[in-house]
Chain A
Amino acid sequence: MSMTAPAPPDRAEPRRDCTLCGRCVSACPLFAATGREELSPRAKFLLLSRLSGDDSGLPRRAAEELAGLCLSCGRCQEACPVGLCVPEAVGRLRAAHPGWPGFVWRQWITRAGMLWPMAQALSRHVPAVLSVPRMAAALAGLDPGRAGPPWLVPTRFDAASAGRPVALFPGCVAAHARTDWTRAATRLLQGLGVVLVEAPEFSCCGATLGHAGLPEPQDAARRANLTAWRAAGRPALAVFCASCHHGLTRYPDALFEPGEAAAWAAAIVPLARLMGRTECAPSPSAPAHIRYHAPCHAPPGDPDRVLLDRLLPLPQPHGQTPCCGFGGLLQLTAPDLSARTAARCWSGHAPPPGATVLTSCSGCAVQLAATAPQGIVVDHWLAAVVCP
């Protein structure tokens, strides 16, 4: 017995605006760290809808600034029953109101090749820079010189990817600062027997640029990456930064030639997945306590966790780890919120003294290194890999 005639197909379009259900509030790391519901994703959607409706009761500028305070972690989208994405909405808001922080972030990312090594050199040679605690901490994660000696030795490589053409997509941090990660990744790919394709220099994956409300540099970076990929013969792209993976897998269809979008999607592969059943043994100098920080943007199934679970004595069971609070543009617009989120992340991890925390995202590695408690070592897991 049927209930009633169904709605006509052209009117049964899925809902695409916020129902104020509140599921996102419990997912939001910024709310968890501050207890301020006005920072929650639901509050942002309320503000954005009031702003678009020209609500005269709302002070416009203050509302826009408040709505722009977002870590862009994307956990709200996982919780939302209608799949709304706050980082995208905030990116559009920020794009509509470009300001000084956006300008600075744009320079920082798009000129990373020049600026980051300069910042590194400055911090090493100009002691005055180090006297600014935030500056010193922020640069610490970018300095390959601070990485401890590696301790994870590959003993037998999985041969499943042998002969496959693969190019390495290092991402901004590995390309311009943590070149040690790039070297380790390259050595692993060589061990796996892939045909390592020398790609022209890739640009930023585009994720942080989009979140920061910089659609033109984002578009330019994406196009540059596609051009490089095509020129290299459309190889598989090995990625070891979760944020890069997130960014690369969200290129709009309009950028591709017919049929190419599927090839691109198939090409992007986390390095951890390519590692397959590769065996590694911790050397005698391996840390006694190791923890894994799962990035908010981990690829589906978190292949890095799967790999590290198999290779290392990580504590079980493990739930979702808290957001590190990196937040991209938020580093400039609200560093205190980023810091509070990091503090909550650390109390969630509660690592034993002297522990090493490994992660699979450049942003997390930088942020956690900058905020780590005394004596805790933080790095991308690639930094632990011994290369001959």
Chain B
Amino acid sequence: MAPSPAQTAMLTNRHRRFLSDLFPGDAAVFSPEKTCVFGTDASRRQALPAAVVRPESEEQACELLRFAHAERLPICCRGRGTNTVGDCVPDPPCIVVSTARFADILEISADDFVAVCRPGLVTADLQAALAAQRLFYPPDPASVRFSTIGGNAATCAGGMRALKYGVTRDFILGIRAVVPGGEVIVTGGRTHKNVAGLDLTRLLVGSEGTLAFFTEITVKLLPLPEATATALCAHADADAALCAAGDVFRAGMLPAAMEFVDRTCLEAVSRLKPLPWSGSAGAALLMRLDGSAEAVAADLRRLETVLAARSPLFVQTATDTAAQDALWEARTTLNQASFMVAPDKISDDVTVPRGALRQAAAGIRAIAESHGLPVLVFGHVGDGNLHVNIMHHAADAGERRRAMAAREAILDMALALRGTLSGEHGVGLSKLPFLDRQIGPAERGLMRRIKAVFDPHGVMNPGKAY
């Protein structure tokens, strides 16, 4: 089948020969039935790649970026394509670089408390290897079992444990990367503190594939906590739940995770499996504690006392793994449950200052009612990051319009509360149209000029993020 005009304009025979030589055998892919999946991600946008390559060495990556820069051919990096805002979608047509074969753990050092790995490694696989040595890499984005360290670094992924530990950028000590033109840079290092020069590592983390291709990521490790415990409580309404959350912090406690699940979510989850309480609740809170076994037991007792003071409808705690997992189902089955409400969703992850969380939750509820659509609200109550799923039937034009309008209203409301369009997912393609509502021209100009220093010909993930 003849390539489309966009592809033909993009890749000449000479380009294809170069790529086939650099990535021999099945490591370079051109035919559309094979490349098409590399043009999608969890944003469900789709665009056909010009080609797909699968490097297995840094040398290949260097040659590729030297070539891409010289020929002005766009490059789009891809871990497992689980990004939700279109960062992995090659629009305009790009050469997609898959890290599927670039996924080794290079080193785990229990003495230095670092690990060094390739970008294609699935984060949960890293954590499993570390746990065998009683070591711990805390960031746990919801996609941790099926997304990669490289992808997590590119988006500065968050997760439930960010409340206590921080996000991905707080756990990346150094990155070895290839910039357009083929040069290798090494940012940061393997020390847990490092203030020499400007912090290029932090610039790269969260850069959404626009600056460089990461070849080695050095992560910071902690000792693996001995024990964990979970508490689940249900409240009459969202406000009561969020007040209870505040009580926990006011009592001087810092759980490892504190998650909020609203009424619409609970109703959806209950369609999969009955909730552990009878009657209807307006919201639930889920908390995870970690630490030594004695400390966790003491903290759990303290937590139960603090929670009881608000007279919740229901409280249950657990210390063994299976029982904890069962309690967390109200949160972990949400993705599956959401599709019981409606077939399509618009997902956002607005983040507001922590003190504005109750107002934000109330604002979203009001927008949901005025637009007549079910909106699932859940998230990381301890850091003001709410996940918002606007459920609708995209096939119904009217509903689709209302869903888009609701989404825009929610983003504007979050910004009005001095929040941000995205706490974790990134801007990608999906939020780019709204970026100037949050980032002013001076700052955006700086970002673009910095990118131009890394990428003078604009080949790295063009048209994305900023």
Is chain B a partner of chain A in the same complex? yes
Q: Which residues of A contact B (CB under 8 A)?
A: 1-7, 11-15, 17, 19-23, 25-27, 31, 35-38, 40, 42-43, 46-47, 50, 57-59, 62-63, 66, 79, 81-82
A-B contact count (CB 8 A): 131
Which of the 9-residue segments B260-268, B305-313, B349-357, B436-444 touches chain A? B260-268
Also in contact, A13 and B263, with CB within 8 A (given A19-B44, A20-B44, A25-B146): no
Across-interface contacts of A2 in B (CB, < 8 A): 263
Residue on A nearest B103 in the bound complex, by CB? A35
Set A17, A20, A27, A31: member contacting B41, Cβ < 8 A: A20
Contacting pair A4 B80 (CB below 8 A): no
Contacting pair A37 B33 (CB below 8 A): no
Of the listed residues B1, B35, B98, the one surrounded by the most CB atoms of chain A closer than 10 A to its CB is B1
Across-interface contacts of B82 in A (CB, < 8 A): 21-22
Q: How far is the CB of A289 from chain B (nearest CB, A)?
A: 21
Contacting pair A3 B263 (CB below 8 A): yes
Q: How far is the CB of A98 from chain B (nearest CB, A)?
A: 20
Across-interface contacts of A14 in B (CB, < 8 A): 339-340, 343
Also in contact, A38 and B34, with CB within 8 A (given A1-B238, A26-B122): yes
Q: Which residues of B contact A (CB under 8 A)?
A: 1, 4, 26, 29, 31-38, 40-42, 44, 48, 54, 80-82, 98, 100-101, 103, 122, 143, 145-147, 237-238, 262-264, 267, 282, 335-336, 339-344, 365, 368-369, 372-375, 377, 391, 393
Contacting pair B369 A57 (CB below 8 A): no
Across-interface contacts of A5 in B (CB, < 8 A): 372
Also in contact, A1 and B42, with CB within 8 A (given A11-B393, A22-B80, A58-B1): no
Contacting pair A25 B263 (CB below 8 A): no
Contacting pair B42 A19 (CB below 8 A): yes
Across-interface contacts of B35 in A (CB, < 8 A): 38
Q: A20-B41, A20-B42, A46-B37 are in contact. List 8 more A-B contacts (CB 8 A).
A: A4-B365, A21-B82, A36-B26, A43-B36, A46-B36, A59-B32, A79-B146, A81-B335
Set B1, B340, B369: member contacting A59, Cβ < 8 A: B1
Kindly state the separation between the CA atoms of A37 and B148 in the bound complex, as whole angstroms.
14
Q: What would 23 A/B residue contacts be, using CB atoms closer than 8 Å? A: A1-B238, A1-B263, A2-B263, A3-B365, A3-B369, A4-B365, A5-B372, A7-B391, A15-B339, A20-B42, A23-B145, A26-B145, A38-B37, A38-B38, A40-B37, A46-B37, A46-B40, A47-B37, A58-B32, A58-B36, A62-B31, A79-B146, A81-B335
Kindly state the separation between the CA atoms of A371 and B340 in the bound complex, as whole angstroms.
43
Contacting pair A35 B101 (CB below 8 A): yes
Q: How far is the CB of B202 from chain A (nearest CB, A)?
A: 27
Contacting pair B343 A15 (CB below 8 A): yes
Kindly state the separation between the CA atoms of A68 and B101 in the bound complex, as whole angstroms.
23
Across-interface contacts of B100 in A (CB, < 8 A): 31, 35-37
